[in-house]
Amino acid sequence: MKHTQGSFVTGYVTVCVEGNFPELFFQQCAEEGMTVWNIKKKSDDVCEGNLRLSDLKAAKKIRRKTKHRLTFINKKGTPFLIRHFINRKPILFAFILTVLFIFILSNLIWEVRVTGVPKELEEKIVDQLNDYGVHPGSWILSLDSPKDIQQNLVDDIPELLWVGVDQIGTTFSLEGVEKVVVKEEAAEQPRNLVAAKKGVIQNMYVSKGVPQVAVHDYVQPGDLLVSGILDENEAEEDEEEEQENTREYVAAEGEVIANTWYEITVTVPLSVNEEVLTGSQKQKYFLKFGDFQLPVWGFGDTDFQYEHVETNKTPIRFFKWELPIEFGQTTISEKVYSETERTKEEAIEAGMEQAKQELKLTLGPEADLLTEKLLHDRTERGKVILDLYISAQENIATESPLNERKSQGD
């Protein structure tokens, strides 16, 4: 006999066979590949045994070839339980409605609680949460994760130093800390301003210290731009009672704007591979139980040659408990790859723009790029190599401590 594991899931029946040599009926069933078990001889002409529900149709064909009489005395298994349950439609409808009702209520926000912040800031947080869709009656599965909501609140409300967002059952609990701005005047150490790079000075804005260079001067890295030492003549102008041969040390402050220049080499390919989303998408929904994933909607494979896949998962709750079940949504977007050939002139233009963007990123937003010039270009192995000269206008002043000079009385 074959192994009968899982017979209750698929369903089975207990058959009573009456006739001469009833055990031969089960013998023929086994020879036809059916699963039979628990065969018992009740009398000389009566025999009982179990058959799978899926084999019942084939067993009836065998009975037609014999003179045996079959009687089904017991039916067991999941199919019969489901059929029995379905036949009681009012109970089935009430059960489904109850489960659905509990599921909906367990995945709605019932309360949003904000603590630890002043009333004005609390109202501002509540208004911001409403913009995010977080309010009583919201569908939890459609919201961002508490971690994302927490980060968005800190980004959108400058008054918040920190906020913790915790989802406890159907309640969103937020605990915040207000940002307190404390202005502390740090004791600044005496310092000079020196040149960080070579350039030609265009403008100077000095709020503290003594300028040591003038507009249109050429400076190199390390040259003194603004001194933090006020000599006796400078001191007499500021403080008339200052004694002779004394010096005052300050933290030099200011900006020294100079024209600088850079020689940059850029390599630009003549062939460009681009990845583009076409806009065609397919949504798939699933329930995840541990490592097992059950598809709910969006069956079948896509006909996309290349795909971009994004998956979002949200835990499902029952009352205040978080079930070990996640509701997931997978978005499959079609993407295509295109290879574009460009001319040498287009590659040069793209290379110069790329070089300016990279230099601007390196120098920072306060620097201005003035001019760019192509010194030389050459083509090697499908690539254009450019040698560029770019001039910029930027603040070249950097701080240099005066501690050692002060201790030496210089």
Secondary structure of residue 331 in the 3-state scheme: strand
Residue boundaries of the structural domains of the chain = 7-82, 111-178, 191-256+398-403, 272-340
**Can you give the pTM of this predicted structure?**
0.44
Six token digits for residue 90: 């009012």
CA-only gyration radius of the chain, Å: 41
CA 55 to CA 24: how far, in whole Å? 17
**Which letter, b or e, does each residue of 196-231 get, where b requires 16 or more Cβ atoms within 10 Å of its Cβ?**
beebebeebebeebbbbbeeeeebeeeebbbbbbbe
Six token digits for residue 338: 């295109």
Residue type, 150: Q
Residue type, 22: P
**Within 10 A of 3 (CB to CB), how many other CB atoms are there?**
8
- C-alpha torsion angle, residues 364, 370, 375, 377 (rounded to 10): 60
CA 223 to CA 217: how far, in whole Å? 11
CATH for 7-82 is 3.30.70.340
Expressed in angstroms, the distance from the first to the final Cα of the chain is 106
Six token digits for residue 62: 């065998």
**Cβ atoms 379, 344 nearer than 8 A:** yes
- C-alpha torsion angle, residues 252, 255, 261, 265 (rounded to 10): 90
**Cβ atoms 15, 71 nearer than 8 A:** yes
Residue type, 310: E
Instruction: Among 3.10.20.310, 3.40.640.10, 3.30.70.60, 3.90.1150.10, name the CATH number for the domain at 111-178.
Output: 3.10.20.310
CA 55 to CA 57: how far, in whole Å? 6
**Cβ atoms 45, 20 nearer than 8 A:** yes
Would you give per-residue pLDDT tens digits along the chain (410 residues)? 444 667 777 888 888 888 888 888 888 888 888 888 888 888 888 899 888 888 888 888 888 887 788 888 888 887 887 787 777 778 778 888 888 888 887 888 888 888 888 888 888 898 989 888 888 878 888 888 888 888 888 888 888 888 888 888 778 888 888 877 665 556 678 889 999 999 999 999 999 888 999 999 999 999 999 988 886 444 444 444 444 456 788 888 999 999 999 999 999 998 888 888 888 999 999 988 767 888 888 888 888 888 999 999 888 877 666 676 788 999 999 998 888 888 889 888 999 999 999 999 999 888 999 999 999 999 988 899 999 999 999 999 999 888 644 443 44
